[in-house]
Structure formats: structure tokens, C-alpha cells
Structure 1
Amino acid sequence: MVATVLRLRYRILGNTLARRPWQLVGFCFGIIWALGILAPVVSVLIGLSRLDDLAPVRAVAILGGSALLLGWIVGPLLIAGVDTTVDATKLATFPLTTRQVMTILTATGLTGIPGIATSIAALATLLLWVRSPLATLVAVPCIALAVLTCVIASRLASALSTGLGGNRRGRELVGTIVLVAVIFAGPLATGAVAALSNAGDVGAQFGHASVVLGWTPFGAAWAVPGDVAAGSYVTAALKFVIAAATVAVLWAAWHAALTRATVSPPRQTTRSVRPGRLGLFGVMPTGGVGATWARSLTGWLRDPRYLRQLIVAPLFPILFAFTGGVDGFMFAASPIFVAFVLCIAGYSDISYDGTAFASVLSSGIRGRQDRWGRILGAACVGVPLTIAIAVITAMIGGHASTLPAILGAALGLLLAGYGVTAVSSALIVTPVAAPGDSPFKTVPGQTFVSGLLVFVVLGACGLLAAPALIVGIMGMVGGDPAVGVAALAVGVLGGAVVTVAGVLIGGRTLERTAPDLLQRIKAFPVG
């Protein structure tokens, strides 16, 4: 059964590459990338194998293996998305047990480009232990455990980030947690390296880190051959048990996750409300603007694809405080980065409507009303959040005198972004993740050109907000209260002008392009 699925997988891959030249180019770049990593890794291993001192060899093996496992967990989610060519959902309709599905998915993970490259690199570590025949012999099963740990851990992370027992809220929660963890991973690693560098001898600090990691699931399998080579047989046996237990625990957790995701029936995600309860639609003004306003604000407060923007944005002050301290310029300027994220959240707003955009067209709402309603919905959460972060960071950092300058730059960028997205979302629709999907899942139909459109919109936002940004930064650096007040005035007034102009232009554009936008949305492939 495994061989059959693998043949089907590679036949699908071959057909896809034959039909889509750009995917073939990307596949070739993937092979070149893997070879480009393997060459220096093997060279380093050859150099280490010639050292007489065993300590640096053991440290490099453990630290490198730990980094490899972390890369397998985070890398596919962050860089390439979850590969859905062969996944548990597609195999669930076949008469296969969960254990068979797991075996198939493990085999596909091992036979992909990352799996093959990892296996070759892991086998190359045998060069480190040629000085000890017993250590070389023990390293073989340890390498198998280490590679299996990488693949199974990656599959478990994918299963958790894409669904829990068919529960949409579970998928949304886990996906958001993984997203936040990924965002914090870089600064945490940077801070850890900085702490090690400031602690004295970097080599000694990394040696201590390798000793600790050798007793964890991350580095236990890689530490066993080194302990055998050093004559620490009892320690090696204990770490081998940890490595084997890690594979067993990961396998069991993955089994439970797949059982819930593919066997358990989908759970009801709707809820009942009392008759007459209209939510925000009963609070907002009537008419086209009010109805669109209520619908947009409901999306910002309940749709996880919007909520993730509100979760990610406040993390900027935390990240900058961690990396540069609360006295640094980046911490003070973090509200500008918050505005930067929020201002482009609706650059292809209609894409999130999906085919439901047909109801907007059938309602007879004018383009200008639709633009105002969407902007008001976004502003109800974006403006208060930006102001609150600006005030809080100013109080914590002790730079209250520059608050007007910071607010001017941030609000100018935010309002200018609303104006730009009022036009861009009347022109651009792109494939987006479905409600409840993982934020890391590859969305079918996305292209390189559609990805570049984001940077075009960002450039337009920065260009139109340039006066507010320049005056605001001058006020922050100089600390002159008069310049700060000027920055606030320029930001609010200039941003308001851009917003109004964007609504007028975007409204007329939407009335002309709306039928074409709906047709393009319907043509998007379904993931």
C-alpha cells in the first residue's frame, strides 16, 4: 500500500511539473537549495572528523541535530506551507487504518526533497565517529531515530495546525498559537545567542547548551554516539531510551490527532440566538454604509483571518522590547509598525467575502457606500488599537513628550492605508485561506505575481503617508513638542484626505469592476 501511494504521489508530481513550468523551476531550485546546504554540511563534518578533541565534535552534533529538528517543525509551516498532495484528509476515504495512513505519510515525508536531504546529512554524521567502531555501529539506529523524530514531529505539527477533530475553532486556535510561536522564535533565538555571547567564552557556553540539549528530545539521539565514543555507556543507554521514547510519544500524539481529525465527525460550529437578535446589524445605522459597516466589524471581531492581524500587531512592542529594550528607538516607533500591519489588512478585502460577494452585488449597494462601510469597520478596531499601543509604549518607555509625533506618523500611515486599500480591493482579488484553515496552509491558486501585489500596495501606503512619517520621525528624534503637534496635524488631516480620495476613486472603480471580481473569485481553485 505504501509503495502504491508513493507511485501515485510521484506520478501527480510529474504531471504537475509537466503542466506548470514555473513549478518545475521551483522544484529545480529546491534541489539546488538542498545540494547547496548538503555540500557545506558534509565539508564541516569531514573537518570535524579530523579533530583529536572529542568535545567540539559532540557539541556540534547535538546542536546541529537539535536545530535540524526545530527546522523540521517550524520550517514547513513557515516557508512552504503544509504539503497537501498526500494528506490524512485525502486518505481518509480509503479503507486504511490510522496506522497505515501514518506509515504512508511518514514514507512520503522521508522521500521528499527535505527528507532525502536530511537522511543524507544524518548519514554523513557517521564520519564523526569513525575513530570509534562501536560508536559508529551505535550511530546507525540513532540516526534512524533522529530522522524519524524529525518527520513525525513535522507531521504532528501539521496535524495540530490544520485541525483538531474537525473542530473549526480548534484549527483556528492552534493555527494562531503556532503563528505567535513562529513570530517569537526569531527574537528568542537572537536573545539567547546574545546572552551566550555576553556570558563570556562562547565556545564554553555552547558546550554547556549541548550538554543540556543532549538530555532532551531535541538532542538525545545525536548525543548517544558521542557518549559511546567517550566511554560513558550508562549515559548513552539512558539517552537512547529518551530518543526512543520521544519517537513513541510523538507517534502516539500524532495517532490521536489524526484519529480525531479523520474519524470523529465534524462538530457543529454554529450557535443559536434568540429571534430578533441582529447583533451589530441591529446597532449600526440602516442603509448601505451601516449594513456594510456592521458586516465588516463583525468580520474583524469574529473571523480569525482578521483577528490574527489584531493578535500579531500588538506583538511588535513586545518583540522590540525583548531585542532592544524599552529605551530603544524601535520600541518607541512600534505603533508605526502596528499601523503598517493594520493599514494593509484589507488590500484585497473582497477576497475574504468569497462567492458571498454576489449578495453584495444583488443588494444594490453603491460602491462608495461599500468603501465607507469597510473602512469604518476596520477603523473601529484599528484606530483605537493604534492609539492604545502608542500611549502604553510612551508611558512604559518614558517618552511621553514624543507621543504626538508617534501618533501623527502612525495615524497618518493607518488612514493613508485605508485610502489605498479602498482602491486596491476594488481591483485585486487573490486566493485566500478558507475560514478555519491554518495560517500556514498553502492556498491553491496563489502565484508569484499575486504575492508581489502586496508590496505594491505597501509602497503606495508608504508614499502617500511619507509627509506624516517624515515629520513624525523628526519629532521623535528631535523631541520638539511643536514638531510633534505638527506631525499629528499632518498625519490626521493628510490621512483623512487620502481616505476620502480613496473612497471616491475606489467606489467608482468597484462599480465598474465588481462583476469581474466575482467572476475571478468563482474561478479560484478550491483547496
Structure 2
Amino acid sequence: MVAQLISLRWALFTNGFKRSPWQLVGAIIGALYALGVIVMAGVGLAFLGANSPQLAGSIAVLASAAVVLGWAIIPVFFTGMDGSMDPQRFALFPIPSRTLALGLLLAGFIGVPGLATLLFLMLTSLAYLSAPVALVLSVLGAIVGAFFAQLVARLGISIAGTMATRRGVREVASLLLFIPIAFAGPAIAQVGRNGEAVGSILPAVADWVRYTPFGAFGGLAYSLERGDYLALGLGLIVGVASLILAGWGYTHYLRRAIVTPPRIKSAAAVKGLGWVGRFPATPWGAVAGRATTYWLKDPRYAASLAIVPMLVILYVFVIPSLNSDSADGGFSFALVLGPLIGAVLGFSISADISYDSTAFSSHVLAGVSGAADRLGRVVALMVIGIPLTLLAILVPLGVSGDWNQLPGGLGAGLGALLTSAGLASVASARWTYSVPLPGDSPFKTPPGTGMRMALTQSALFLAILVFCAPTLGFYVASLVTGDPLWSWVTLAVGLVLGIVLAALGVRIGGRWMERRMPELMQAVMVNR
């Protein structure tokens, strides 16, 4: 039965390429990229192991622990990403829970992430080329560690599914887990700036990490190579105990998911019209009210709003601290935050029809004009986007005290918001792609659409950059010269150009939408 589950996963994996050639291209590119990075890391560890065995072993322990920890955290963002092997799909089959658990775990190695994890953990063994016994133990530990990574990933997804029985709990947890990822870049930059100091403390950190469940299997060879047999025994006990406990927990949650699948509690009854009643009683007002409700209550929209405060903290406080040796403390980098937030928020409605899913049929059946649909969504975006863009503009200026750049910041930020909203109104009426369905995790990536989504979004971002170029050019001139005249020119050009492009986007996007209404309806049904 385990072999049949593995063969089923292989058939699903290969059939996905036959369904979408772009998925095959994306998988090949991703596999080549991952292989190149892994091989380079292995070669680096081998070279370091020949010159500094203790440092190489420390890096190997920490790297393997980071990979296992990543498997425990990251899959929570993409809960349900691969529903083809969901345990609940096997509820009607008389498969023992332990057999099903083992089969699903081994099937997890079929695919780029699983194979890359196994290969990377095995290549960390190159740090022990000078110690053959430690090398063999490291390979064995890598194999068991990769299996443990799959196990904790499945266990984490099962626990997240149980927590999601209450509406919004999963999304809040996902956003909280996203915070360390958002600050990973600055943390890596800080490590790079203090490489020598960090290198000196890596052995001490590895000495503690090898006693944790995440670093236990990677630390066995490290302890053996150093002749620390007591640490070897303790690490082995921790690893085996963690493996047994995680296996028991996963089997328990799997059996529970098959017998009593979790149910999402329905939302409380809504009194009144909500945001719909706060807009004019017109077609575009109804669309604006519904879209505003989406922005505030749909986790797929709210996730992008929660990221804005993190970016403000990152650009205004974290990045300047990493460039404290520059003339202005690296703070001038934060002045691009306004245009960046404006462009990203405007871009976010490029998939609004796809996010509607089957609810888009209400627009089709009600006969809403394309212009009313486009205008309503843009107005809803402005209700949310203008305050957030102003936040991204005013906070850096308030911290720096350089209010001379206020007109330029307003022109660049609001101009980028309006421009990107107009272009996104056209793009969403012409192109659709699969997005997380209502109720899914906002970080889920539907299979088979990665390359098409990447190409569409890249083309739209390029178009936004091109149309924002005049405003950004004047804004850069105001920052470089410090002349208030360029700042006021940026304000005028940004607002005028942004309003014109937003109006054209609503008009052109509305026409395209009316012409392609049947195709759009068919597309959102296929993308389910």
C-alpha cells in the first residue's frame, strides 16, 4: 500500500506537467536553480572542511537545523497547497492510519522541495571528508533528518488545520509567522557585515543546537568528529525521542482528520448593509462597498495590508541601522517607501476578478457595466490605499524632519498608487490566473500557474515602472538637488498623470471587461 501511495503521487506529479507546459518549464528552472545553489553550498562546505573542520561542522549543523525548522514553519503559509494527497481524500478507503501516514510521508519526497531537501542535507556531509566514520554517520543522519523534516511539516499542517476551525485564526497565525521572514533579509545583511564576529560564535551556537529536535540528527557527526561521545548519545536520544513523538502526533492528527474533519465555524450574522450602505446607491457604489468589505475581511486582501506596517518598520528603522556608517545613516533609502507601497497596493487589484471566483457571476447576471465595476474597485482601493500610502510617506519624513520633501513624496506615492490602479484595472479585465480560493490560506500558490502568474505580474510591474518613470525622475531630481521646485513639480506631475491614467484604466478596462464577460466568467470557473 505504501508503494501504491508513492506511485500515485508520482502519477499526479508527472500528469501536472502534461496539463500545463508552463508548469514543466517552471519546475525545470526551479530544479536547476535549486541544484546549482545546493551544489555550490556543498562545494563550499567541502573546501571549508579541509581548512577549518570545526567551523565547517558548525555550519553543517546549523544549516541542517535551519532546513528542518523551515519545514516546520513554511508549509503553514501554504496550507492546502497540494490537496491531491490530503488525508481526507482517503477517508473512504480501508487503509490503516500508520500505513497511510508512512505512505504520505515518503510521497512528500516526490517533487522539487522534497528532493532538494534530501540532497542538501546529504551534501552537508561533505564537511566531514577528512573523517570517514563521521562522514558515514552524517549521511545516515541526513536521510533520517530529511524524513523528520517531512514529518514535522505534515504535523505542523495538521495542527494548523485544527487551529483553523475558528474563522481567521489560521490567517492571523500565518501573518505572525510571516514577520521573521520579512526581517530575514536585514538579518542576513547584518551577519554579512559582521562575518568574522559571527564566525567566532558559530561553534558555541552549534553546541546548543545539536541538542534540539531540529539539529539532533545533523549534530551526530559533529559530536563524533569532535570526540564528544556524551553529546553524541544525548543527541541520539533527543533525535529518536523527537522522531517518535512527532510520528505519534502526526498519526493521531491524521486519524482524527479522517474520522472527524475540522469544520470552519460560520461568521456571525451581519446587521445592516455594512460598507455597501456607506457608498452611493449606484452600480459603482455597490461594487465599491463589496470590494471594501473584501479588503477588510477577506484574508487574501488583508494579508497585503498587514505587510505595510512591517515594511515601514523595515525601511525606516531596520535598514538605516544597518547603514549607520553612511552620511545620512542610510535613511534616504526609506524615502522610496511611499512610491513602493503605492505601486504594490495599486497592483493588488490586478487579480480582483480572479479573487471573486464564482461570486463574479453576480456582476454578470446583474448586468453591471464594465466601467462601473472598474470604478467601484478603484474607489475601494483608494479608501484603503490612500491612508496606507500616506503612512508610508509621512513616517519617514517625520522621523527625518525633512518636510521639504513632502510635496515630492506625496506626488510620487499617490501618483504610483493611481497609476498602478489604472494599469491593474486594464490587466485584470484581460488576464486571469488561479489564486487562492475563498477560505484558503492567502499564501497558498495553486499548482500549475506559477509561470503564467510570474510572467503576467512581471509584465504589469514593468508597465507600472515605465508609466511612473516621469514622476519618479522628478522625484529623484528633488532628492538629489534638494531644490523645492522639483519637489512641487513631482507633486503636480504625479497627481495629474496618476489621475489621467486611472481614468483611462477604468474606461479601457471597462470596455475590455464588457467584451470579454463570458470569457472572464469561464476563466474564473476553470481557475477554481
TM-score (norm 1): 0.86
Deviations along 1:89-127, one digit per CA (max 9) or x if unpaired, are: 323443345444322221112455544454455456666
Say yes or no: does 1:471 pair with 2:474.
yes
- In 2 relative to 1, CA 183–41 (structure 1 residues): closer, same or farther, beyond 3 Å? closer
The correspondence for 2:202, drawn from 206, 218, 223, is 206
The Cα shift of 1:266 comes to: 0.9
- In 2 relative to 1, CA 188–77 (structure 1 residues): closer, same or farther, beyond 3 Å? farther
- In the other structure, the counterpart of 2:268 is 271
- In 2 relative to 1, CA 163–368 (structure 1 residues): closer, same or farther, beyond 3 Å? farther
Give secondary structure in 2 for the equivalent of 1:333: helix
Q: Which moved more, 1:222-231 or 1:303-312?
A: 222-231
Q: Which moved more, 1:200-209 or 1:352-361?
A: 200-209
- In 2 relative to 1, CA 34–92 (structure 1 residues): closer, same or farther, beyond 3 Å? farther
The amino acid across from 1:244 in the alignment is V
**Percent identity (aligned):** 31
- In 2 relative to 1, CA 269–236 (structure 1 residues): closer, same or farther, beyond 3 Å? same
- In the other structure, the counterpart of 2:11 is 11
Give secondary structure in 2 for the equivalent of 1:425: helix
Q: Tell whether the 8 Å contact from 1:407 to 1:488 is kept in structure 2 after alignment.
A: yes
Give secondary structure in 2 for the equivalent of 1:188: helix
The Cα shift of 1:29 comes to: 5.0
- In 2 relative to 1, CA 418–13 (structure 1 residues): closer, same or farther, beyond 3 Å? closer
The correspondence for 2:413, drawn from 403, 410, 414, is 410
- In the other structure, the counterpart of 2:523 is 520
- In the other structure, the counterpart of 1:58 is 57
- In 2 relative to 1, CA 403–13 (structure 1 residues): closer, same or farther, beyond 3 Å? same
- In 2 relative to 1, CA 340–252 (structure 1 residues): closer, same or farther, beyond 3 Å? farther
Q: Give me the whole-angstrom Cα distance separating, in 1, the residues matched to 2:381 and 2:94.
A: 47
- In the other structure, the counterpart of 1:301 is 296
Q: Give me the whole-angstrom Cα distance separating, in 2, the residues matched to 1:514 and 1:206.
A: 59
- In the other structure, the counterpart of 2:360 is 357
- In 2 relative to 1, CA 181–128 (structure 1 residues): closer, same or farther, beyond 3 Å? closer
Q: Give me the whole-angstrom Cα distance separating, in 1, the residues matched to 2:25 and 2:306.
A: 36
Say yes or no: does 1:152 pair with 2:151.
yes
Deviations along 1:379-438, one digit per CA (max 9) or x if unpaired, are: 001001111221122112333322221121010100111221222222222221112212
- In 2 relative to 1, CA 273–468 (structure 1 residues): closer, same or farther, beyond 3 Å? same
The Cα shift of 1:137 comes to: 7.0
Q: Give me the whole-angstrom Cα distance separating, in 1, the residues matched to 2:436 and 2:484.
A: 45
Q: Tell whether the 8 Å contact from 2:419 to 2:498 is kept in structure 1 after alignment.
A: yes
- In the other structure, the counterpart of 2:460 is 457
The Cα shift of 1:235 comes to: 2.2
The correspondence for 1:335, drawn from 328, 335, 338, is 338
Say yes or no: does 1:493 pair with 2:496.
yes
- In 2 relative to 1, CA 409–202 (structure 1 residues): closer, same or farther, beyond 3 Å? same
Q: Tell whether the 8 Å contact from 1:171 to 1:436 is kept in structure 2 after alignment.
A: no
The Cα shift of 1:374 comes to: 1.0
Deviations along 1:59-79, one digit per CA (max 9) or x if unpaired, are: 233133234324545677889
The amino acid across from 2:394 in the alignment is V
Summarize the alignment of residues 73-112 of structure 1 with structure 2, pairs less than 5 Å apart. 73=72, 82-112=81-111
Summarize the alignment of residues 168-183 of structure 1 with structure 2, pairs less than 5 Å apart. 168-183=167-182
Q: Tell whether the 8 Å contact from 2:477 to 2:486 is kept in structure 1 after alignment.
A: yes
- In 2 relative to 1, CA 231–169 (structure 1 residues): closer, same or farther, beyond 3 Å? same
Q: Tell whether the 8 Å contact from 1:163 to 1:170 is kept in structure 2 after alignment.
A: no
- In 2 relative to 1, CA 496–459 (structure 1 residues): closer, same or farther, beyond 3 Å? same
Q: Give me the whole-angstrom Cα distance separating, in 2, the residues matched to 1:269 and 1:409.
A: 42
- In the other structure, the counterpart of 1:187 is 186
Q: Tell whether the 8 Å contact from 1:408 to 1:468 is kept in structure 2 after alignment.
A: yes
The amino acid across from 2:493 in the alignment is V
- In 2 relative to 1, CA 174–159 (structure 1 residues): closer, same or farther, beyond 3 Å? farther
Q: Tell whether the 8 Å contact from 2:78 to 2:444 is kept in structure 1 after alignment.
A: no
Q: Give me the whole-angstrom Cα distance separating, in 2, the residues matched to 1:242 and 1:116.
A: 25
Deviations along 1:447-472, one digit per CA (max 9) or x if unpaired, are: 52343121222222222222222222
Q: Give me the whole-angstrom Cα distance separating, in 1, the residues matched to 2:18 and 2:426.
A: 38
- In 2 relative to 1, CA 451–88 (structure 1 residues): closer, same or farther, beyond 3 Å? same
Q: Which runs of 5 or more residues in structure 2 are unaligned?
A: 322-328
- In 2 relative to 1, CA 113–475 (structure 1 residues): closer, same or farther, beyond 3 Å? closer
Say yes or no: does 1:240 pair with 2:239.
no
The correspondence for 1:438, drawn from 438, 441, 448, is 441
Give secondary structure in 1 for the equivalent of 2:219: helix
The Cα shift of 1:38 comes to: 5.7
Give secondary structure in 2 for the equivalent of 1:365: coil
Q: Tell whether the 8 Å contact from 2:433 to 2:452 is kept in structure 1 after alignment.
A: no
- In 2 relative to 1, CA 452–15 (structure 1 residues): closer, same or farther, beyond 3 Å? closer
The Cα shift of 1:499 comes to: 1.5
The Cα shift of 1:344 comes to: 0.4
Q: Tell whether the 8 Å contact from 2:26 to 2:451 is kept in structure 1 after alignment.
A: no
Q: Give me the whole-angstrom Cα distance separating, in 2, the residues matched to 1:237 and 1:256.
A: 28
How many pairs align?
A: 519
Deviations along 1:225-250, one digit per CA (max 9) or x if unpaired, are: 23233332222222223323333444
Q: Tell whether the 8 Å contact from 1:316 to 1:337 is kept in structure 2 after alignment.
A: no
The Cα shift of 1:37 comes to: 5.2
Deviations along 1:343-362, one digit per CA (max 9) or x if unpaired, are: 10111321111222121122
TM-score (norm 2): 0.86
Give secondary structure in 2 for the equivalent of 1:94: coil
